[in-house]
Amino acid sequence: MFAVQKKTSDLVQWLRAIPLEAVFWAGALAFAASIDPQASGGLNLCLIEHLGLPCPGDGLGTGIAHLVRGNWDASWAAHPLAGPVVGVLVVHIVTVCRSSLRASR
């Protein structure tokens, strides 16, 4: 019984060591990946577009959604930087988690 409690305690401690920034970026990637790329319209949270200016990130979420589904050409057409953005965010999430784990030791 004590071994299970020890493992549970270790898991809770490990989960608490995950930085909030890593959780935020992983959640943002998961949200963008869950978008239906074929759906029209949708919620627009871009403040730049609400000001009437062209948004440089327009289509990025759709590009990520296509990328996750393996539609490389559609992803490129939606936003050419979708792949590099995903790569940079994944590397950043891993780096933040590693540095947090090193600091907690």
> What per-residue confidence (pLDDT) applies to 65?
94
Locate 95 and state its tokens: 């780096």
CB pairs under 8 A, 24+ apart, for 71-77?
A: 71/37, 74/37
Supply the mean pLDDT for the chain: 87
- Name which of 74, 76, 94 is nearest 25 in CA terms: 94
pLDDT band at 5 (very low <50, low <70, confident <90, very high): low
> What per-residue confidence (pLDDT) applies to 45?
74
pLDDT digits (tens, 9 = 90+) for 55-76: 898 889 999 999 999 999 999 9
User: Of residues 65 and 43, which shows the higher confidence score?
Assistant: 65
Work out the average pLDDT over 75-98: 95
> What per-residue confidence (pLDDT) applies to 85?
96
pTM to 2 decimal places:
0.77
User: Of residues 12 and 93, which shows the higher confidence score?
Assistant: 93
Give CA–CA dist 57/32, Å, rounded. 13
